[in-house]
Structure 1
Amino acid sequence: MSRASEWLDGYLKAWESNDPDDVRAIFTDDAEYWFRPDDPDPVRGIDAIIEGWPEDEGTHPTYGFDVLIEDERLGIIKGHVEYPGQQSYHNIWEVWFAPDGRAQRFVEWFMVPRKHSAPAEGAPGE
């Protein structure tokens, strides 16, 4: 199994369990967690990451993630998450690895899918 795949399995375990030990298993003590790439500052340090880790969301989302590319230092993961009756997201994650395989820097890029509307009258394709 690849480094990025192992890390992704750990992330999904931490997401489902919300157990601080599971979160510690995937982030270094000095890790940076960027919830958005344009945030002015990341969440820094494992204690702050655990404090900001989402609690049980009350729904059971469906999701799928795949490792797109990776090397020893960086994994790029693509995915989607759908919260029943709520929101859907498409994600790209940058996972910058420490030598031990935990994330030293994690950046979430997420998008909300566009809502499709009926074509305007006279629009091409009618």
Structure 2
Amino acid sequence: MGRVIRSQRKGPGSVFKAHTKNRKGAAKLRAFDFAERHGYIKGVIRDIIHDPGRGAPLAKVVFRDPYRYKMRTETFIAAEGMYTGQFVYCGKKATLQVGNIMPVGTMPEGTIVCCLEDNTGNRGRIA
């Protein structure tokens, strides 16, 4: 049996550490429900936060639940130009503004988009 020499003990480099401890949560769009299919729903951006494992900031948006008497908090990827206190509209009949969420078919050609769904209902995968 040979001996493991010092350079072999040191190894090729340090052990990779993924910094996943302080993540703020998954960034997802609202679930596509009746309110979004036939009209729009209004939310307010409460906070814009930094997520350690992500390059883009996250926006905490509070919506009033259309079916129950409670508030729902969603975490979106913040687009450039969003700010705390801004109203965000989600749905088919939402107006075209920075931060609003609407179907691609209702947007005019040439609109800059972010956070697309590649499959219907997967809540935004493509940045």
TM-score tier (shorter): under 0.3
TM-score, scaled to structure 2: 0.28
Richer in helix (by share):
1
